[in-house]
Structure 1
Amino acid sequence: MATGGNIWAEQELFRNVEPLPSGHVARIRAVKRAARHYSADAIHAHSSWAGVYARIRSAPVPVIYQPHCYAFEDSSKGVVRRSAFRAAEKMMSRRTAATIALSPHEKELAEGLSRYNRVFVVPNVPSIEGPGTEKSDTRPPREFIVSMSGRVTTQKDPEFFAAVARTVRSRHPRIRFRWIGAGDEHLEQILHASGVEVTGWKSGAELARTLSSSSVYFHTARYEGFPLAVLDAAALDIPIVVRNIAAFAGTPLRIVSTTAEAADAIVRTASSDLKADLVRRGRLLLDKMNSRLQAGALDEVYRYVSEK
């Protein structure tokens, strides 16, 4: 079941796709009704709202919960709101047969909600197919573009991206900054005011074409589970720079903490052999986050739930 978005472009991957009705109460009822109608063995709920709809009341079958980040990690929200989010997740963890985490950090967060919470790490994988290992050596010369991909929200921190864009462009005005996605109008205006192009939503082949024209992929989120966009960039052999957040701890990626450090890494990529090193780091990341390992991890989750 879906509320819309990219799921509609991938309907052929599913036996059935049903839109959720409007209203939270109606959606809670619809999830339970669908589980019974299809004689489901389990509900796999992905994202916070899906987790609410599947777990706010006892479900007719076991629920596998896969958060799309934990909102209580968002430092931009006040202490009271973050505490409320954590309390809600803690309460609903009692109705969770298994939790899927995308990183060791997210696993630690999930286990902290309940000592009875059985948590599995299932690696994310790229959503687009890469062109092969020779791409980084055979690209023709082009203009230098720094990209970020995702919804324009406080979680992705477009203000940090904008600040780095201003720093870099003050020294190198020909370097372009581009945000692939859309979202909050006020935050989009901050990006525009800093000389950042906002492309609107892209998907499928269009996303791959847009992302592949990037010279550097720069991920600025405040917190994450593990972002697909970083893996997509790695699959396309794009040099990657990421912000210092817990989701990237222990990865081979180039991690930066400040706007000055980020600006320096981006500029060095434009003018030195750092580019080859960043591409290599992306390939190392995909050695640990790929379809083969994901399939094995998911099989372990479903076996565990079916045997409970």
Structure 2
Amino acid sequence: MKKIRLLHIVQCAGGVDCYLRMLLAHMDRHRYVQIILCSKDYSENDYRELVDEFIQVDMCNSLSFKKDVKAVSQIRKLIKNCHPDIIYCHSSKAGGIGRIANIGTGIPLVYNPHGWAFNMKTGWLKSFVYLWMERLLSPLVTRYIIISNYEKMSAVQHRVAQAHKMKVIFNGIDMDAVDKMSGTVTRASLNIPENAYLIGMVGRISRQKAPDTFIRMAALLKDALPHAYFMMVGDGDQRDEMERLIKDCGLEGRVIITGWVNNPLAYSGLFDQAMLLSRWEGFGLVLVEYMKLGKPIIATEVDAISDLITDHENGLLVEVDHAEQAADAVKEIMNDVSLRNKLISNGMMRANAFFDVQRVAREHDALFSKIRNLYNR
């Protein structure tokens, strides 16, 4: 059978980059010609063994009429040159540019927003603009791939698309990679005592991930748990602000910020407890990694997190921006061994049962095959 020519259009890096690399690594190279058309934020070296063609264009993250029109024009020409059977757009910016560039070509287009931009707490005006853009561009989508039930429900409620047009494919992780990465970083290399009780979070140091709530939680625990240390694995636009907050709270030496690292799993493998205190979350893939690593989890009860975490079954759920609840949850897990063991056991079972990236690849393959057959390309 002729290979399916699949053109990926991507703009933002970060989580989408990780998602795409995992997906490509597990899709059948004998069935696909994989082409990536991406922004300058992507590295060709990362995709050398994963794709057949790597093409970069200038796509900016912010809205810019002049730059966006130029990007649409370039991408439209590239679409015609690449002759894809299916176009797969990832995230809202690439989704907008890719859909407009594809107008009139007759090529089926799949769009994965990786979390709706209008659900992000970025102010009512931005949310309003993002929502109307999604509504206006919705007729240009053949099928949506949605990463959680929450995101699907939200799209229906906001009249973005009808339910039958959306396919929910939960994110997944490379289970073997998690096992291989564990143990490659030590506490000694980070100047953390071996007997410390380490509470950590992995994520951007940005408003979404609520690093300020994490630090305020640490401040509430520093005297009650003198052997507790706190780690933030990542970097971001709020790092300077968070470093000032750490100093103001008297937590210097007790809170470690790693900055950007290539192997965050190796750091989260050191945690005694793992956290995700996001203010909004399209999925929260790091929670699956925590579960696979056997870490008891504390997370906020917001958006798609409830698709992954059931309170007091495979994690504890707390309110957004509630440092006191998070601190109480830390103590509850520390003091209740049976609860801690239950959370760990159930989490590992759930990760293995539902969130393997091989399942993600199979579900993508089934959808793309169906679309190709429908369009007789």
Shared fold, TM over 0.5: yes
Decide whether aligned partners of structure 1 residues 189 and 238 sit closer, same or farther in structure 2, where only a CA change above 3 A counts. Answer: same
Hey, what's the Cα distance between the residues in 1 that align with 2:43 and 2:258?
A: 16
Decide whether aligned partners of structure 1 residues 6 and 58 sit closer, same or farther in structure 2, where only a CA change above 3 A counts. Answer: closer
| Residue 243 (structure 2) pairs with residue 189 (structure 1) | yes
1:151-170 → structure 2 map (5 Å cutoff): 151-170=204-223
- The one-letter amino acid paired with 2:178 is G
CA positional deviation for 1:184: 0.7
Deviations 1:91-111 (A, max 9, x none): 121211111111111111233
Of 121, 124, 132, the residue aligned with 1:79 is 124
Deviations 1:105-163 (A, max 9, x none): 1111233312377111111112562339xx9xxxxx64222221122222222222222
Q: State the SS of the aligned residue for 1:131.
A: helix
TM-score by length of 1: 0.86
- The one-letter amino acid paired with 1:184 is D
Who is 1:30 aligned against?
74
Deviations 1:21-45 (A, max 9, x none): 2543333233333322222112211
Who is 2:270 aligned against?
213
Work out whether residues 149 and 229 of structure 1, in 8 Å CA contact, stay in contact via their aligned partners in 2: yes
- The one-letter amino acid paired with 2:276 is H
- The one-letter amino acid paired with 1:224 is E
- The one-letter amino acid paired with 2:334 is A
1:128-167 → structure 2 map (5 Å cutoff): 129-131=177-179, 142-167=195-220
Who is 2:279 aligned against?
222
Hey, what's the Cα distance between the residues in 2 that align with 1:30 and 1:191?
A: 45
Work out whether residues 256 and 262 of structure 1, in 8 Å CA contact, stay in contact via their aligned partners in 2: yes
TM-score by length of 2: 0.71
Q: State the SS of the aligned residue for 2:56.
A: coil
Work out whether residues 126 and 229 of structure 1, in 8 Å CA contact, stay in contact via their aligned partners in 2: no
Deviations 1:277-296 (A, max 9, x none): 22123223311222343133
CA positional deviation for 1:262: 1.6
Who is 2:135 aligned against?
90
CA positional deviation for 1:83: 1.4
Unmatched 5+ residue regions in structure 2? 1-36, 60-66, 184-193
Work out whether residues 57 and 71 of structure 2, in 8 Å CA contact, stay in contact via their aligned partners in 1: yes
Larger Rg: 2
Q: Which deviates more, 160-169 or 4-13?
A: 4-13
Q: State the SS of the aligned residue for 1:282.
A: helix
Who is 2:187 aligned against?
none
Q: Which deviates more, 258-267 or 99-108?
A: 258-267
Hey, what's the Cα distance between the residues in 2 that align with 1:89 and 1:7?
A: 30
Decide whether aligned partners of structure 1 residues 116 and 68 sit closer, same or farther in structure 2, where only a CA change above 3 A counts. Answer: closer
Hey, what's the Cα distance between the residues in 1 that align with 2:347 and 2:44?
A: 27
- The one-letter amino acid paired with 1:36 is K
Decide whether aligned partners of structure 1 residues 82 and 261 sit closer, same or farther in structure 2, where only a CA change above 3 A counts. Answer: same
Who is 1:124 aligned against?
171
Who is 1:113 aligned against?
160
Q: Percent identity among equivalent residues? A: 22
| Residue 52 (structure 2) pairs with residue 15 (structure 1) | yes
Hey, what's the Cα distance between the residues in 1 that align with 2:42 and 2:203?
A: 13
Work out whether residues 149 and 307 of structure 2, in 8 Å CA contact, stay in contact via their aligned partners in 1: no
Who is 1:67 aligned against?
113
Work out whether residues 110 and 117 of structure 1, in 8 Å CA contact, stay in contact via their aligned partners in 2: no
Q: Which deviates more, 80-89 or 33-42?
A: 33-42
CA positional deviation for 1:182: 1.0
Who is 2:294 aligned against?
237
CA positional deviation for 1:10: 4.4
Number of residues of Structure 1 aligned to a counterpart in Structure 2: 301
Unmatched 5+ residue regions in structure 1? 136-140
Hey, what's the Cα distance between the residues in 1 that align with 2:163 and 2:120?
A: 25
Hey, what's the Cα distance between the residues in 1 that align with 2:206 and 2:69?
A: 26
CA positional deviation for 1:248: 2.0
